[in-house]
Structure 1
């Protein structure tokens, strides 16, 4: 009889603990290596007839903002293929939560394309990712 009396409180404590934390495990995206700085190499002497080349201009990606969650995956994949910055992503898709590497976020199931876990390159541009 004594053993059954001890099991009742133990079972109730386990039942309470089992109900806690139903938000799923935390998801910590893999860390990206920090950008490395390479030492400068001395420039070759320019010939007087040579004209300096114009610097390459990167055209910023600025589509019209898409409100709501992502429904047109073709347009979204085209936008990601242009390697936007996080600020450009937030401007283009203001209602989609952007989760960058190193950001702590829960990993519950969302089927409405409302949260994008991005992969970035060493320059901080989005190169890919997935919805979760």
Structure 2
């Protein structure tokens, strides 16, 4: 019986170690306005939630439906108007 304990513990450690490596990590926040459009488009392609968007791009104003904003025109990619799917995930959008 004791000779099966060590292999069983080793097997459990390998399985748990594999699970830990497969957990997704949140992307590092991008401070400032969007300048790397390729990285931004790749992020939007993951269909993030509004909360995930705010965590990834904290300095970009996310204008959701029903949000009141000012009318000034911005050319620095600092305000994003998303297109949402039925689950509220961002599927595309535009800067203004």
TM-score, reference length from structure 1:
0.53
Q: Which has the higher helix share?
A: 2
Write the distance in 1 (CA, Å) between the matches of 2:85 and 2:63: 14
Out of 57, 80, 83, the position equivalent to 1:116 is 80
Cα shift readout 1:69-88 (whole Å, capped 9, x = no counterpart): 00000000000011000000
Moved over 4 A (4+): none
Aligned length: 74
- 2:25 and 2:73 mapped to 1: Cα distance? 30
Alignment correspondent of 1:67: 31
Aligned pair in 2 of structure 1 residues 66, 121: CA closer, same or farther (>3 Å)? same
Structure 1: segments with no counterpart, 5+ residues = 1-58
Whole-Å Cα distance in 2 between the matches of residues 120 and 106 of structure 1? 21
Please give the per-residue CA displacement for 1:66-117, whole angstroms capped at 9, x wherever unaligned: 0000000000000001100000000000000000112122332101100001
Q: Output the aligned Cα RMSD.
A: 1.6
Greater relative contact order (CA < 8 Å, ≥ 6 in sequence) = 1
Distance 1:61 1:88, change over 3 A: farther
